[in-house]
Structure 1
């Protein structure tokens, strides 16, 4: 598919050249942004906006679920279950028009995002030390 808009081409290239770690962080950031936009729409009683934004979060959660390698062990399996829980929780939040339920998902996503960012930082620091021959713990 050809991209005619130079900005879209730039964005597509940026996403395609990101590391897996940064892509996951972007997905978490997007999910959080759309959850918050869904909450804002709910406050305005814009239920189409709520549904649209929560649907986008569900799309992100689906992407995280299908790209997760569940064969690596218990952590991956538990993460899958957590994504599935959040997905279903958002479906119910949309049906019930529950800001509380959306906030619960925001809290979970924020914790996952912060943990992922910290793990990535530690991994990159360790990887850098290994590449330059530092084997010490610090």
Structure 2
């Protein structure tokens, strides 16, 4: 039980000290985790857990949508993809269609991996600039 509490404290500290980019990465990772759980729940015919995990993934995507800056061109390109992901999750949930969830999972993984690269390149650039000062 104490270990569980320590883990929760660690997670809270990780969230509270994370940069905006790291928080976005955490959101993508959470979305991926909940979609994977929903797929397993679907296979196990655990409809209540499937529904809960899909709703958690949908909530994360909605949060990602809110954080988009409408003034930035890439946001205008990403928003329809997030809309599509939400639609596919809803359809997958209603129709019990794992393929629709797999589609969203693949997109979330691609977004996450791309975001990881952005963070790494940003850190490298900051490190290089810091070394030149």
Question: TM above 0.5, one fold?
Answer: yes
The corresponding residue for 2:48 is 48
**Which residue does 2:104 correspond to in 1?**
105
Aligned to 2:68: 68
- Shift in Å, 1:32: 0.4
Question: 2: distance between equivalents of 1:133 and 1:54?
Answer: 47
Aligned residues of 1:70 and 1:80 also touching (Cα < 8 A): no
Name the stretch that deviates more: 121-130 or 9-18.
9-18
- Counterpart-to-counterpart distance in 2, 1:9 and 1:104: 34
1:39 counterpart residue number: 39
Contact 1:31 1:57 (C-alpha < 8 Å) held by counterparts: yes
User: Structure 1 stretches (4+) deviating beyond 2 angstroms?
Assistant: 5-14
User: What is the CA–CA distance in structure 1 between the aligned matches of 2:8 and 2:44, rounded to whole Å?
Assistant: 31
TM superposition shift of 1:56: 0.2
Q: CA deviation at 1:12?
A: 2.7
In structure 1, the gaps of 5 or more residues are: none
CA RMSD of aligned residues (A): 1.6
Q: Which whole-Å CA distance do the structure 1 matches of 2:122 and 2:104 have between them?
A: 26
Task: Identify the residue that residue 95 of structure 1 maps to in structure 2.
Answer: 94
More helix by share: 2
TM-score, normalising length from structure 2?
0.90
How far 1:10 sits from its partner (Å)? 4.7
Partner Cα distance (1:7, 1:127) in 2 = 31
Q: Show the counterpart of 1:78.
A: 77
Task: Count matched residues.
Answer: 129
Q: Distance in 2 between matches of 1:131 and 1:71?
A: 29
Larger relative contact order, structure 1 or 2 (CA cutoff 8 Å, min sep 6): 2
Please report the TM-score for the alignment, with normalisation by the length of structure 1. 0.87
Question: How much does 1:9 deviate?
Answer: 5.0
